[in-house]
Amino acid sequence: MAKIYTRGGDKGQTGLPGERRVSKTDQLFEVLGFLDQTNAQIGLAISLARQEKDENPVPTLERVQRMLLTIGSALASEAGFQETILQKLTTEVTWMEGVIDKLDEELPLLRNFILVGGTPAGATLHLVRTSVRQTERQFHRLGGKQKPAEAAQYLNRLSDFFFQIARYYNFKHNRKEAIWKP
């Protein structure tokens, strides 16, 4: 049985595909770490939705989890982003925009900032949105070819997507949004 630990990173370097060793302080690992954090938070939202007896968002959230893993593996790969992955991201952006628009038709018109919260799953979905924004900021610190426009567009749309998903989840669970008043 293979061990989970390799000891290869004990001196501050991590292995990537292609037998490359890269410093753990490299900006790429900041992005990969935030992708991982976002993915874990989505997993928490799925778990909470299931506790709330709501399987409806699970396939959608798992679809996003798969794409985040795809983005991370492509960023870490020696070859970088491949054409099929870039095309997939473009397709996923179009899908997310369709979901956002569909949910927008059912949601109450938003004219103010809201205080995030709602059900445990709904609040966690808002937390995911903030994690996506952190990931996006870290992504934009990458240099040149490491930062394809399609991935930037996907991450930008993803935060809008989670804002709507969180609002919709709370709406479907009869949790009224608290309007922010200064």
Residue predicted with more confidence, 1 or 153: 153
Looking at residue 16, the DSSP 8-state letter turns out to be: E
Instruction: Please state, for a pLDDT cut of 70, what percent of the chain lies above it.
Output: 96
pTM: 0.91
Structure confidence at residue 20 (pLDDT)? 79
Residues 166, 117: Cα–Cα separation, whole Å: 9
- For the stretch 1-56, pLDDT in tens is 878 887 877 888 887 777 778 888 888 999 999 999 999 999 999 999 999 999 99
Res. 136: pLDDT tops 80 = yes
Average pLDDT of span 134-155: 88
Residues 116, 58: Cα–Cα separation, whole Å: 21
Looking at residue 107, the DSSP 8-state letter turns out to be: S
- Strand, helix or coil for residue 140: coil
* Residue bearing tokens 């922010």: 180
Structure confidence at residue 74 (pLDDT)? 83
Residue predicted with more confidence, 114 or 147: 114
Question: What phi, psi does 142 have (nearest 5°)?
Answer: -70, 155
Here the tokens at position 52 are: 């709330």
Structure confidence at residue 145 (pLDDT)? 67
Q: Which amino acid is at 80?
A: G
Mean pLDDT of the residues in the chain: 91
* Residue bearing tokens 């996003």: 64
